[in-house]
Structure 1
């Protein structure tokens, strides 16, 4: 079966370009693009306790090992696409995670 296409939202691309200064960390995050293409269900269903931390649609989250970052993504089964819409440092306050 063909792998899924993994697409980064512009906000994720901007974060990677402007906030990630370590080549090692960047490479680990980029590796997850390949992993998610083959295993899109790898991340846990994201169901936070705080209402303000909920995105407006069902999604998954996966902590990238050996980095302080988590990727948030939604799967479009019809298009076989993984849409990575957010990346976040794990120490960020979750209460306003997906507010405008």
Structure 2
């Protein structure tokens, strides 16, 4: 049984406003299906920088062929993957998760 994958509104807004090509948009969005089948595909996010640490444990997965990384939490009880942040890999680490 597939997991439910939800994107935070800020992720949806970022994808619409910041991703400039249809190819890259579709590539990033295709990870919804990947995470629905393999919620632990991404690695546990454990940054060196305290400023880059989220409020709760999470996982991250870089989307190949794009400069984007998805950050998400896995809820076993509800079988839900919540993608709460998307980041361009050239962003400032100190500003990571400032939108959540």
TM-score bin (small chain): over 0.9
Unpaired runs of at least 5, structure 1: none
User: Root-mean-square deviation (CA), in Å?
Assistant: 0.9
Q: 1:33: which partner in 2?
A: 32
Q: 1:7: which partner in 2?
A: 6
Tell me the distance in 1 between the aligned counterparts of 2:85 and 2:97.
9
Q: How many residues align?
A: 99
Counterparts of residues 46-85 of structure 1 (less than 5 Å)? 46-85=45-84
> How many angstroms does 1:95 deviate by?
1.7
Q: 2:88: which partner in 1?
A: 89
Q: Is the 8 A contact 1:6 1:84 kept in 2?
A: yes
Q: Deviations along 1:16-61, whole A, 9 cap, x unmatched? A: 1111120000110111000000000000000000011000000000
Query: Which portions of structure 1, spanning 4 or more consecutive aligned residues, are displaced by more than 4 angstroms?
Result: none
